[in-house]
Amino acid sequence: MKRILTYGTFDLLHWGHIRLLKRAKALGDYLVVGLSTDEFNEAKPGKQPSYHPYEVRKMMLESLRYVDLVIPEATWEQKSDDVTEHGIDVVVMGSDWKNSPRFEYLRPACEVVYLDRTEGTSTSDIRRDLLFEAIEYRRQDQQQAQFGQRGSQHDDAAPPPPSTARLRALGTDPETALPPPPDRD
């Protein structure tokens, strides 16, 4: 039986993740996922904390049919131990890690394969897209409110910036949905 191992945060599970896991599993018979712990993520400089905590990310990975075992990734140095402990034949990573010494040093112990990432899908893309989308809805909403108050609009100035206080309040009221965009003429 050929055993595969990969590492990642797998926050906001998306098609890029699932495609990578599917292809990783296809390289062998048993797929182990080293899932970074919240502490490990937060220790990485410049990295945003994950949206979902470790336990939730773990349960979501376990619900995927390509994943056989989820283990915690708490340090950069644990990888050679993981390879030994779980009898790993191949370590698979996304091609953004290609030739990184963080993985290349494993080569005497096992094979290392880098798979191409799915173009345009990453957790940070999703976060950025949703932010732009929300700002756009907010802007349209405010424009509509202005039309309503003034009756007519001859103001060519840029729309007012979003009120961050109101935006934040949207996140705390479970009944408040962002409004759909109004029709544009």
Partner 1 sequence: MKRVLTYGTFDLLHWGHIRLLKRARSLGDYLIVAASTDDFAVEHKGGRAPYHQFETRCDMLKAVRFVDLVIGESTWEQKVDDIRRYHVDTVVMGGNWEGSPRFEYLRDYCELIYLPRTEGVSTSQIRRDLLADAVALPGHGGHEPAPVTTRLTALPRTA
Which residues of the shown chain bind partner 1 in the complex (CB under 8 A)?
12-15, 18, 21-22, 48, 51-52, 56, 59-60, 63-66, 120, 125-127, 129-136, 138-139, 158-159, 161-162, 164, 167-168, 170-171, 174, 177-178, 180-181
CB of 72 or CB of 162, closer to partner 1: 162
Q: Which long-range contacts (CB under 8 A, 24 or more apart) does 171-178 make?
A: 178/134, 178/137, 178/138
Please say whether the beta carbons of 12 and 52 come within 8 A.
Answer: yes
Please state the closest distance from residue 110 (CB atom) to partner 1, in A: 25
Please say whether the beta carbons of 104 and 112 come within 8 A.
Answer: yes
Please say whether the beta carbons of 45 and 6 come within 8 A.
Answer: no
CA distance 74 to 69: 16
Please state the closest distance from residue 32 (CB atom) to partner 1, in A: 16
Please state the closest distance from residue 61 (CB atom) to partner 1, in A: 10
CB of 87 or CB of 161, closer to partner 1: 161
CB of 43 or CB of 167, closer to partner 1: 167
Please state the closest distance from residue 155 (CB atom) to partner 1, in A: 13
3-class DSSP assignment, residue 67? coil
CB of 77 or CB of 156, closer to partner 1: 156
Cα distances (angstroms) measured from residue 123 to each of 49, 118, 148, 174: 12, 12, 38, 24
CB of 64 or CB of 106, closer to partner 1: 64
Please state the closest distance from residue 101 (CB atom) to partner 1, in A: 31
Please say whether the beta carbons of 73 and 7 come within 8 A.
Answer: yes
Residue 166: enclosing H or E segment and its boundaries? helix 164-170
